[in-house]
Structure 1
Amino acid sequence: MSESSNRPPLSLSPGQWSFTRWSTIGQLEALKVHHPLFKAVICLQGAHLTQFTPQDEKGWLWLSNAARFESERAIRGGIPVCWPWFGDPKRNAPEVRKRILSDKAHGFARTALWKLEDVRENAHEVEISLSLDATEDFSDQWSGHAIALITFNFSVRGCQIALTTTNLSPDPLAFSQALHSYFPTSDITRTRILGLGNSDYIDTLDHWQYRNQEGAVYFDGETDRIYESGEPLTIVTPGGSRRLRTVGSDSTVVWNPGAEKAARLSDFPNLAWKNMLCVETANAGGDYRVLSEGQSHTLGVLIGRM
Structure 2
Amino acid sequence: MISHLSFNTLKLLSPSVSLKANNEGFEFLVIEHKQLNAVFSLHGGHLIHFQPTQQQPIIWLSKTAIFDDKKAIRGGVPICWPWFGAASPELGEGLPSHGFARTSKWSIGQITESDLGIELELKLYSSKETLKLWPYPFELTLKATLNKHLKLELITENKGDTPFTYRSALHTYLNISTPDAITVSGLNEQFYNSLNKGQLETGGQTLLIDQAIDSIYKKSNCDILLEDKQLQRTLTITNKGNDSEVLWSPWIAGAKAFADMPDDGYQTMLCIESTITEKTGQAVQAGKKHTLSTLIK
TM-score > 0.5 by shorter chain: yes
Task: Find the aligned partners of 2:283 and 2:210 in 1 and give their Cα distance.
Answer: 36
String of CA shifts for 1:113-168, please: whole Å, max 9, x gaps. Answer: 01111111011110110111123222332222211111111112x01110000112
Mapping for residues 88-237 of structure 1, pairs under 5 Å: 88-89=86-87, 97-99=89-91, 102-156=94-148, 158-198=149-189, 200-230=190-220, 231-237=222-228
Q: Which runs of 5+ in 1 are unaligned?
A: 1-13, 90-95
1:48 is displaced (CA, Å) by 0.5
1:100 is displaced (CA, Å) by 5.7
Correspondent of 1:24 among 21, 25, 29: 21
Task: Find the aligned partners of 2:244 and 2:164 in 1 and give their Cα distance.
Answer: 19
* 1:290 and 2:283 are equivalent in the alignment: yes
String of CA shifts for 1:255-295, please: whole Å, max 9, x gaps. Answer: 00011121112301111112211000111134720112112
Letter in 2 for 1:61: I
Task: Find the aligned partners of 2:81 and 2:17 in 1 and give their Cα distance.
Answer: 26
What SS is found at the alignment partner of 1:263? helix
1:169 is displaced (CA, Å) by 2.3
Greater Cα offset, 44-53 or 66-75 = 66-75
Greater Cα offset, 133-142 or 37-46 = 133-142
CA contact (8 A) 1:172 1:290 kept: yes
Task: Please identify runs of 4+ aligned residues in structure 1 that moved more than 4 A.
Answer: none
Task: Find the aligned partners of 1:104 and 1:205 in 2 and give their Cα distance.
Answer: 22
1:184 is displaced (CA, Å) by 1.5
Task: Find the aligned partners of 1:99 and 1:173 in 2 and give their Cα distance.
Answer: 13
What SS is found at the alignment partner of 1:139? helix
Greater Cα offset, 282-291 or 77-86 = 282-291
CA contact (8 A) 1:84 1:176 kept: yes
Letter in 2 for 1:116: I
Q: Which runs of 5+ in 2 are unaligned?
A: 1-10
Task: Find the aligned partners of 1:242 and 1:56 in 2 and give their Cα distance.
Answer: 16
Greater Cα offset, 60-69 or 24-33 = 24-33
Count residues in correspondence.
283
CA 1:193–1:287 in 2, change beyond 3 Å: closer, same or farther? farther
CA contact (8 A) 1:163 1:298 kept: yes
Task: Find the aligned partners of 1:58 and 1:298 in 2 and give their Cα distance.
Answer: 29
* 1:252 and 2:248 are equivalent in the alignment: no
* 1:268 and 2:261 are equivalent in the alignment: yes
String of CA shifts for 1:208-265, please: whole Å, max 9, x gaps. Answer: 1101121312222210001111431111123121011122112100000011121112
CA contact (8 A) 1:20 1:31 kept: yes
CA contact (8 A) 1:194 1:216 kept: yes
Give the aligned partner of residue 75 of structure 2: 77
What SS is found at the alignment partner of 1:273? helix
What SS is found at the alignment partner of 2:196? coil
RMSD, aligned α-carbons: 1.7
Task: Find the aligned partners of 2:264 and 2:95 in 1 and give their Cα distance.
Answer: 29
Task: Find the aligned partners of 1:237 and 1:100 in 2 and give their Cα distance.
Answer: 43
Task: Find the aligned partners of 2:295 and 2:179 in 1 and give their Cα distance.
Answer: 22
Give the aligned partner of residue 66 of structure 2: 68
CA contact (8 A) 1:100 1:142 kept: no
Task: Find the aligned partners of 2:182 and 2:280 in 1 and give their Cα distance.
Answer: 27
Letter in 1 for 2:69: S
Task: Find the aligned partners of 1:287 and 1:33 in 2 and give their Cα distance.
Answer: 38
